[in-house]
Amino acid sequence: MHERLDVIPGLIILVPAVMGLRGNIGTALGSRISASLHLGLVGGKFSFNKFTLSNIGAGFSLSFTVSIVIGLFARFVCYIFGLPSIPLVNLLLIAILASAMASVVLIPFTVTLTYFAFNRRLDPDNIVAPIIGMVGDVITVAVVFLAADVVLRLKIDEAWSLLMLPVVPMIIRRIPSRYKLLNILKQSIPVLFVCTMLGVLAGIYLHWQYEKFYLVPGLLILIPQIIAKAGSIGGIFGARFSSGLHLGYLKPYRMNNYVVKNFIGAISLALLISPLVTLITKFGADLFGIPIVPLVPLFFINLFAILAITLIVFFLDFFTASLSYKVRVDPSNSVIPFVTSLGDIVGTVILVLAISMFL
């Protein structure tokens, strides 16, 4: 879809931000349910009780609230750096519509997947983050462009931005109060606001470095791939450290056998998936006739990027989970969103660095 990125200035900024929002809310939701299942706080059979309704409601509330921040911050940063962009109201509506469409699919899917994995004696901490990352990437990239088409067909200009001001508070007030006062929202919203800014900054960096991808359009395929790996790996070990702290397998800031085994698992995972990502990327580009670099440099780009990202997000998971547990904030609400959002920037910068190194 690189031609559409050329004719809709600023759209590429929303891609990592909305992808990050999807991952942050989805994987945090899965981690909360997983930890509660491990601790026996909820039964293994799904039901619409207070716990599940609160978590699902919080997921939708967070998605709507943070999508507004994505649109506002994206337009503000474009203005500050003098980058071309479509009007504010268009960015806002695209972010809100894309987040809403993604959430309608991904939040129920996350809840179903977590219970399904637990009841099949699989650890949801190992399953939810990568699958949500994979499904979410496909859905998120598609809904961003679908939302852009819908909004641009409406031909809304900058003056309409003023009409958004009274509408947003009216919609927020319609969210049931029992969801707004939940601990989940109180702990998550400040973290997600910071994470949103990090995601938008990743998009700004992509916007700034876009000429590298414009020359070889197939390299655009790597953006969701690499960002997804940062989110998936960060989500897996963020969820494992969160559950480990709750279950007593891990003490804050202390290296033990549990941490070492997870570290070996992380490095092994990076080494195993790098050639797979390379082959899939090359095959996909060739299948659709998209120009891309030869297989060998593509492999080294993926290997360097995925291995570097894995090392960085693993230690970020460990230290942020330890800090969160120390200050009595549930790591499920803070670690995964924060680390995966940092992973957006880390993944984006490392991808551009890898392209510069091997091309």
Q: Are 340 and 257 in contact (CB under 8 A)?
A: no
Q: Which domain holds residue 23?
A: 2-358
* Side chain identity, residue 216: V
**pLDDT at residue number 132:** 79
- pLDDT range class, residue 191, cuts 50, 70, 90: low
- pLDDT for 298 beyond 50: yes
Residues 77-102, mean pLDDT to the nearest whole number: 82
168, two tokens: 């947003």
What is the per-residue pLDDT across 200-229, written as a single tens digit (0 to 9) for each? Answer: 777 777 777 777 776 777 888 887 777 767
What is the per-residue pLDDT across 222-273, written as a single tens digit (0 to 9) for each? Answer: 877 777 677 678 778 888 898 889 888 989 999 999 999 999 999 998 899 8
**pLDDT at residue number 303:** 93
- pLDDT range class, residue 275, cuts 50, 70, 90: very high
**pLDDT at residue number 300:** 94
Closest CA to 131 of 30, 263, 238, 33: 30
What is the per-residue pLDDT across 57-67, written as a single tens digit (0 to 9) for each? Answer: 877 877 777 78
CA distances from 101 to 96, 107, 140, 147, 205 (A): 9, 10, 9, 9, 26
Q: What percent of the chain has pLDDT over 90?
A: 16
- pLDDT range class, residue 178, cuts 50, 70, 90: very low
**pLDDT at residue number 279:** 94
The number of distinct structural domains making up the chain is 1
**pLDDT at residue number 295:** 93
* Position with higher pLDDT, 85 vs 256: 256
Residues 172-201, mean pLDDT to the nearest whole number: 59
**pLDDT at residue number 328:** 84
- pLDDT range class, residue 81, cuts 50, 70, 90: confident
Mean pLDDT highest for which of 11-15, 169-173, 283-287?
Answer: 283-287
What is the per-residue pLDDT across 121-150, written as a single tens digit (0 to 9) for each? Answer: 888 888 887 787 678 777 877 888 888 888
**pLDDT at residue number 180:** 40
**pLDDT at residue number 171:** 52
- pLDDT for 113 beyond 70: yes
152, two tokens: 């641009």
Mean pLDDT highest for which of 15-24, 170-179, 259-268, 332-341?
Answer: 259-268
- pLDDT range class, residue 345, cuts 50, 70, 90: confident
Q: What percent of the chain has pLDDT over 70?
A: 81
- pLDDT for 161 beyond 60: no
Report the distance separating Cα 288 and Cα 329, nearest Å: 47
